[in-house]
Amino acid sequence: MEASHSLIETEAWRQLDTVCDPEIDTVTIIDLGMVDKVLVSDNKVSVDLLPTFLGCPALGIIKENVIKAIKLIDEVKEVEVNYIKNPPWTSDRITSKGREGLKVYGIAPPPLKLENDGTWKVECPYCGSPYHSVENIFGPSACRSILYCKNCKNPYEAMKPISTMN
């Protein structure tokens, strides 16, 4: 008997949650909010992914890993992965599990909101302290910067918040 589409779809989402960011192996592409759609038709699965600020090589690796993961499902004969730009990826798509995963890796997750004075407050992923060495942390082109925590003295990386609202 053929498995129903919805079963394949459920299994596909489960497989996608095993595909990690090639660089940050504590977060999956679902944690990062990169998966927009999974479509099943006959024995073919199409996955729409939203590219993050990650570099192009990482996107190629993720695509290959998604194809490999979905092909583990017996009923699936064909896998198609598309990177789409609409809706645009924003950093608030990162799930709370994803934010925890980034911290485990030593990366401060992107701030969820602007402070009243228009700045971003970044908290140390190790101790939660907002005090760090650099004041103007994100230059115009940088999406990640290295900060030093003034409290626990650890260096850490911070991710720039990306939003469609400004």
Residue 77 or 150: the one with the smaller Cβ distance to Zn ion is: 150
On the question of a cis peptide bond just before residue 87, with omega within 30 degrees of 0, the verdict is yes
Q: Tell me the C-alpha distance between 164 and 76, whole Å.
A: 35
Q: Does 126 bind Zn ion (CB under 5 A)?
A: yes
Select from 11-19, 104-112, 113-121, 129-137 the region that touches Zn ion (CB under 5 A).
129-137
Contact 88, 82 (CB under 8 A): no
Q: Does 82 bind Zn ion (CB under 5 A)?
A: no
Q: Does 158 bind Zn ion (CB under 5 A)?
A: no
Q: How many CB atoms lie within 10 A of CB 133?
A: 12
Q: Which of 43, 46, 95, 129 binds Zn ion (CB under 5 A)?
A: 129
Q: Tell me the C-alpha distance between 81 and 77, whole Å.
A: 14
* Residues in contact with Zn ion by the rule CB under 5 A: 124, 126-127, 129, 149, 151-152
